[in-house]
Amino acid sequence: MEPYDMRGTPEAFARSVSAFDLLTATLSGREAEEWTHGELEEHLQEAGRALIRQLLQDHLDLRALREEEHLAARPCLRVTGGDGIPRPWREKGHERWLSTVFGHVRVRRVAHRGPGVSNVHPADVALSLPAGRHSAGLRRLAVTEAVRGSFDQAVAAVGRQCGPVLGKRRLEELVVETAADVEGFYRAKTALPCSRDMPLVIQADGKGVVMRPEALREATRRKAARAAAAGRRGRLAPGEKPNRKRMATIACVFDIRPAPRRPHDVIGPPEGRSHRRTRRPHPRAENKWLTASLVKPPEEVIAEAFDQAQARDPHHLRHWIVLVDGARHQLDVVQAEAARRGVTIHVLIDFVHVTEYVWAAAHAFHKPGSREAEAFTADRLTAILAGHAARVADELLAQADQAHLAASPREAVITCHRYLTGHLDQLHYDTALAAGWPIATGAIEGACRHLIADRLDITGARWGLAGAEAVLKLRAVTSNGHLDAYFTYHTAREHERLYPSSGLATYRLTA
C-alpha cells in the first residue's frame, strides 16, 4: 500500500507552533532580561518539556486521524487478531494514556471488534505500545536510576526530569519486568574472540543480602523463627548469626595477558624493597563478564560462568584458571563442572585467604603488630609462593612443638597446617607466577562490593526476592557494559510477547 499523503499537515501541529511562539515571546520579553542563567535554564526545562510533549501529542493525533481516514476509504478491509478470528466491526475514539519522559499523552486509535473476542488495535502494533502506561523511554530512565541508587532516589530523579509520571511501587514492578530477558540476552550474545595465548580466568564467591522473612531460604527462615520464639536478646552470642540474609552467588569470567612475576614482586621483605630491581606488574582483567543470582543455587551460577568460558574457548585451547576461596563445596562444584565439560582447569586458592591463616599462626609465636610477626609472615608467605607450602606447614607444626605453645595459640598453628596440607593441589603459586597468572580473587571481591554492597546492602534495606534478583541481574548487565544492547534486545522481545502475530494488521500505518 502506498504511504499516506504528507501534504497539508502543518495545521496538525498548530498547538505546538503556538507553544513555541509563546516560548520565544517570553524569552524576548522584558521580564526574561532580568533572569539569571539559572532561571533561564529552569524556565526552558519546564517550557521545553511541555513543548516536546505537545509535539508528541500532535503527532499521535495526526496518526489517529490518518488511521480513521484510511479505514473510511476502505470499508471492506478486515483485521484478524492473533487468535485467527476476524474482527468485522470498527469503533473510533478508543483512547489510552501513555506516560513518557515528556509527561502524559493520550493515544487515540480505532478498535476492531468481534463477538465474544477482545478488541484489536492495529495502531498499538505500529506504535509498539507497552502493556502498561509507561513508555519504553520512561521505563529505561526509571530502571537505570533504580539500579544505580535507591527506589526513592530513582522516583525523585525521574520526577525532576519528567514530572510526576511514576510511583515507587510501579517502579519496583518495572525493574522486575525489565530483568526478565537477561538470560536470553546472554544466550544470544556472541562472546568476544581472544587469542589462545591469553589465559581464561573464572572466579566465584558468595555474599549475603538482608531479606524480608518470606524471602529467606527455608532453613534460614526456620532458624530465624526459632530465635524469635526464644525471645529477643540485646546481643548475639559469639559466632551466632542474625539469620536475616540470603546468600547470593557471584561469578566472573575474564581474559588476561600473562604477566610473569617472582615471589618478591608479591611479598616485599620487612626491611623494604630494594630500588635496584623494579617490581613487576600483576596481570589485569580484560573483557570481564559478571553473572549473579539470589534465586539460583551456586551450581547453576558457576555453570553459567563455565558457559561463558566455553563460548570464549569452545575448543579448550587456552589455559583455564579457576580462583576460589578454598570452601570445600565451591571446590567440589567447580571440579564437577569441569569434569562434565571435559576441560582441564588449574585451580588456585586465593592467596589473600592463605595470608590470613599464616598471619594467625604468626601471632601464635609473636606479638600482633610486631616487626617479628611481620618478618615471620613474610618469610613463610614467600616460601609458599616459591612452591614450598608443604614444607612451611610441617615447619610450623614442628616449631609449635618446640615452643610448647598453649592450647589457644597452638590451635591457630594447627588450623593453618590443616588448611595448607588440605589444599596443596591448589597452592602451586610458583607455576602461576612463572606463567603470569593471577593468584588473588580481587576481581570477584570487587564485584561483590559493586553489585551487592553498593546497592543491595545500603542502610535499612530489606529485599523481596523478585526485586533483589532483578536489581542484581541488571547491575551485572550494567557492569558488563551491555545495558544499551540489553534494552534494545528486551524491547524487541517485549514487542514479540505483546504482539506475537506479525499479521495482526493487514495494512501499514505511516506518518
First to last CA, the chain: 13
Last residue of a domain, one of 402, 429, 449: 449
Domain with 298 in it: 198-449
Percentage with pLDDT > 90 across the chain: 73
d(CA 50, CA 102): 7
Distances (CA, A) of 181 to 144, 302, 348: 16, 19, 34
Same domain assignment for residues 168 and 209: no
Same domain assignment for residues 178 and 235: no
C-alpha cell belonging to residue 178: 525489565
Q: β-strand 285-293 against 245-256: which pairing, if any? A: antiparallel
C-alpha cell belonging to residue 489: 534486545
The answer to the question of residue 34 being in a domain is no
Residue with cell 468481534: 114
Instruction: Grade residue 3 by pLDDT with cuts at 50, 70 and 90.
Output: very low
Last residue of a domain, one of 405, 431, 449: 449
Same domain assignment for residues 505 and 437: no
The answer to the question of residue 466 being in a domain is no
The answer to the question of residue 85 being in a domain is yes
d(CA 181, CA 172): 16
Same domain assignment for residues 91 and 181: yes
State the DSSP H helix or E strand holding residue 95, giving kind and residue range, or none if neither: strand 89-100
C-alpha cell belonging to residue 213: 522473612
Residue 511 or 307, more confident: 307
The answer to the question of residue 464 being in a domain is no
Q: According to the model, what pLDDT value does residue 340 have?
A: 95
Same domain assignment for residues 68 and 180: yes
State the maximum Cα–Cα separation within the chain, in Å, rounded to a whole number.
Answer: 103
Distances (CA, A) of 81 to 120, 285, 464: 6, 51, 38
CA 46, 140, 446: angle at the middle one, nearest 5?
120
Q: Average pLDDT for residues 149-160, to the nearest whole number?
A: 93
Same domain assignment for residues 122 and 223: no
Same domain assignment for residues 179 and 215: no
Residue 510 or 440, more confident: 440
Q: According to the model, what pLDDT value does residue 224 have?
A: 74
The answer to the question of residue 341 being in a domain is yes
Reduce the DSSP state of residue 254 to 3 states and report it: strand
The answer to the question of residue 465 being in a domain is no
Same domain assignment for residues 177 and 70: yes
Residues 6+ apart with CB under 8 A from 498: 128, 130, 131
Instruction: Grade residue 1 by pLDDT with cuts at 50, 70 and 90.
Output: very low
Instruction: Grade residue 40 by pLDDT with cuts at 50, 70 and 90.
Output: very high
* 377-394 pLDDT, tens digit each: 999 999 999 999 999 999
Among 99, 105, 102, 98, which Cα is nearest to 45's?
102
CB 290 within 8 A of CB 243: no
Q: According to the model, what pLDDT value does residue 311 have?
A: 93
Q: Average pLDDT for residues 67-78, to the nearest whole number?
A: 88
pLDDT tops 50 at residue 276: yes
Same domain assignment for residues 365 and 233: yes
Distances (CA, A) of 346 to 205, 432, 435: 17, 9, 12
The answer to the question of residue 409 being in a domain is yes
DSSP class of residue 232 equals: -
Same domain assignment for residues 291 and 359: yes
The answer to the question of residue 12 being in a domain is yes
pLDDT tops 60 at residue 2: no
CB 329 within 8 A of CB 205: no
Q: Average pLDDT for residues 349-368, to the nearest whole number?
A: 94
Same domain assignment for residues 314 and 241: yes
Distances (CA, A) of 447 to 178, 207, 396: 22, 10, 35
* 391-422 pLDDT, tens digit each: 999 999 999 999 888 999 999 999 999 999 99
State the DSSP H helix or E strand holding residue 202, giving kind and residue range, or none if neither: strand 200-210
* 137-147 pLDDT, tens digit each: 999 999 999 99
Reduce the DSSP state of residue 499 to 3 states and report it: coil
* 437-446 pLDDT, tens digit each: 999 999 999 9
State the DSSP H helix or E strand holding residue 69, giving kind and residue range, or none if neither: helix 37-72
Number of structural domains found in the chain:
2
Q: According to the model, what pLDDT value does residue 233 have?
A: 57
d(CA 108, CA 67): 10
Among 147, 139, 145, which Cα is nearest to 474's?
147
DSSP class of residue 211 equals: B
Q: According to the model, what pLDDT value does residue 4 have?
A: 46
Same domain assignment for residues 371 and 443: yes
